[in-house]
Amino acid sequence: MKDKGLLIVISGPSGAGKGTVVSRVISANEKFKFSVSVTTRAPREGEVDGVNYYFKSMSEFEHMIHNKELLEYMDVYGNFYGTNKFFVEDMLNNGYDVVLEIDTKGAFAVKKIMPEAVMIFITPESFDVLSERLVGRATDSPEQLKRRLGESVSELKLAAKYDYIVVNDVLDTCVNQVSNIICSEHHRSKRCLDIIDNFSK
Amino acid sequence: MKDKGLLIVISGPSGAGKGTVVSRVISANEKFKFSVSVTTRAPREGEVDGVNYYFKSMSEFEHMIHNKELLEYMDVYGNFYGTNKFFVEDMLNNGYDVVLEIDTKGAFAVKKIMPEAVMIFITPESFDVLSERLVGRATDSPEQLKRRLGESVSELKLAAKYDYIVVNDVLDTCVNQVSNIICSEHHRSKRCLDIIDNFSK
């Protein structure tokens, strides 16, 4: 496992089901690793520290910022979210493909720092499906729902800035497509020049 | 099958085994179609007209050039090779991904006319394997062998100009990788903007 891994950035609006897609993609290939984000927001029901997020206090989070332990971080309505830089770099150097599930703002911040990142946008197949999925979530108040729907439409407008767009219509198909994209990106010629150089020796 | 298909250009040096890879890729997916080239060279043993090539006389070939029936054509040591434009366009418009197995010169000629073509370069894993495979061919004289080896090394130097490089070490793996690349390319965001546009309506 000498080759450096790829950084895969996955975004998509709330209601795209990207969380499920990402966890299925990760478990499909032992070379894929999920980058667990750091957050100051409270855990939702069923969320586990170190699995879904690393849950930190505000002062712990500030400490990480101060020590430059975060690749990027964002304030989202008073809650902070960040990417653990050391984890990402360590995994990439060990040949793992690191998958980051992150919103569009965070995604573009990462792309700026690591331009070789592969950007994948997951979308539901239509506005109606998106609305249905968001309404189906019992956790949101009507105000939150309205805000989320607005945010989703805003995020969708940024999809063209990603390298790939994958529709999450049938889950298995979507998971395969994302896995294929990651595997295919290893064959981009810019990442394979050492193979060709060997012929000149 | 409304979406337009992709034009896939596959090159690689003699001895890369690209012919076998291409035929296996084509048979793996009914959406892939092989573009049978037109040539004035004599059929080799086992080659079938309309399957491996369309074998044409020089005057028939000139007639096709005159009628603009060829996407590109090349004179390779006195033998002419060309790509049937109408076949390619018809298949693409019907949603098929058309696979063109063609040398580097032809490949760059096609890319110039159809810049959206996806370029894949197939290579053996090392110079030693390349030499062995070429020596193993009983059809070549020592002079032809030497020329072919020189051409192969020249072609390998152009691999970096392709979008993807795939090593044909284990055939099954190589076939899967090429198939995955073709499928993944359908998800490039520039080809999926209609999905996102639907959310604005």
Q: Do A159 and B189 touch (CB under 8 A)?
A: yes
Q: CB–CB of B13/B130 below 8 Å?
A: yes
B1 inside domain: no
DSSP, residue by residue, B155-201: HHTTGGGSSEEEE-SSHHHHHHHHHHHHHHHTTBGGG-HHHHHGGG-
Nearest to A192 by CA among B182, B118, B165, B156: B165
Chain A residues near residue B157 by CB distance under 8 angstroms: 196, 200
Chain B residues near residue A127 by CB distance under 8 angstroms: 198-199, 201
Q: Do B130 and A199 touch (CB under 8 A)?
A: yes
Strand, coil or helix: what is B52?
Answer: coil
Q: What is the pTM of this model?
A: 0.89
What amino acid occupies position A102?
I
Q: Do A198 and B126 touch (CB under 8 A)?
A: yes
Nearest to B76 by CA among B49, B37, B111: B37
pLDDT for res B136: 75
A20 inside domain: yes
Q: CA of A153: which chain B residue's CA is closest?
A: B199
Q: Does residue B140 or residue A53 have the better pLDDT?
A: A53
A2 inside domain: no
**Nearest-5° Cα angle at A118, B160 to A187:** 35
Chain B residues near residue A121 by CB distance under 8 angstroms: 189
Nearest C-alpha of chain B: how many angstroms from A67? 36
Q: Residue A73 CB: number of other CB atoms within 10 A?
A: 20
d(CA A63, CA A133): 37
Question: Which residue's entry shows tokens 């890319």?
Answer: B111
Q: Is B84 left (phi over 0), alpha (psi -120 to 50) or beta?
A: beta
Domain hosting B156: range is 7-200
A97 inside domain: yes
pLDDT for res B1: 43
d(CA A128, CA B172): 41
Nearest C-alpha of chain B: how many angstroms from A155? 10
A1 inside domain: no
Q: Say yes or no to pLDDT of A104 above 60.
A: yes
Nearest C-alpha of chain B: how many angstroms from A169? 12
Strand, coil or helix: what is B96?
Answer: coil
pLDDT for res A138: 64
Instruction: Report how far apart, in Å, the C-alpha atoms of A152 and of each of A13, A90, A123, B125 are.
Output: 4, 32, 10, 46
For chain B, say whether A7 makes contact (Cβ under 8 Å).
no
Please give the distance of CA A112 from its chain centroid, rounded to a whole number.
15
Nearest C-alpha of chain A: how many angstroms from B183? 8
Q: Residue A188: which of B130, B163, B198 has the nearest Cβ?
A: B163
Q: CB–CB of B165/A189 below 8 Å?
A: yes
pLDDT for res A201: 61
d(CA B163, CA A181): 14
B76 inside domain: yes
Instruction: Report how far apart, in Å, the C-alpha atoms of B114 and of each of A20, A83, A164, B55, B102 are.
Output: 38, 41, 21, 25, 14
pLDDT tens per residue across span B118-136:
999 999 988 888 888 888 7
Q: CA of B157: which chain A residue's CA is closest?
A: A196
pLDDT for res B138: 64
pLDDT < 50 regions, chain B: 1
What's the average model confidence in pLDDT over A99-109?
A: 92
pLDDT for res A160: 94
d(CA A165, CA A9): 12
d(CA A121, CA A137): 21
d(CA B35, CA B37): 6
A34-43, A53-62, B14-23, B138-147: segment of lowest average pLDDT: B138-147
B2 inside domain: no
pLDDT tens per residue across span A128-182:
888 888 887 667 788 888 888 888 888 899 999 999 999 999 999 999 999 999 9
Chain B residues near residue A187 by CB distance under 8 angstroms: 164-166, 177, 181
Which domain CATH number covers A137?
Answer: 3.40.50.300
Q: CB–CB of A114/A4 below 8 Å?
A: no
**Structural domain total, chain A:** 1
pLDDT for res A143: 87
Q: CA of B166: which chain A residue's CA is closest?
A: A187
Q: Helical H runs in B40-170? A: 58-66, 85-93, 104-113, 127-135, 142-156
Q: CB–CB of B84/B69 below 8 Å?
A: yes
Q: CA of B155: which chain A residue's CA is closest?
A: A196
- A26 exposure class (CB count in 10 Å sphere: 0-12, 13-18, 19+): middle
Q: Residue B156: which of A123, A184, A199 has the nearest Cβ?
A: A199
Q: Do A164 and B189 touch (CB under 8 A)?
A: yes
For chain B, say whether A130 makes contact (Cβ under 8 Å).
yes
For residue B4, give both structure tokens.
Answer: 């337009």
Q: Do A187 and B166 touch (CB under 8 A)?
A: yes
Q: CB–CB of B123/B166 below 8 Å?
A: yes
Q: Do B198 and A127 touch (CB under 8 A)?
A: yes
Chain A residues near residue B187 by CB distance under 8 angstroms: 164-166, 177, 181
For chain B, say whether A25 makes contact (Cβ under 8 Å).
no
Q: CB–CB of A70/A85 below 8 Å?
A: yes
Q: Do B200 and A157 touch (CB under 8 A)?
A: yes
Strand, coil or helix: what is B6?
Answer: coil
pLDDT for res A126: 87
Q: Residue B180: which of A123, A162, A183 has the nearest Cβ?
A: A183
B153 inside domain: yes
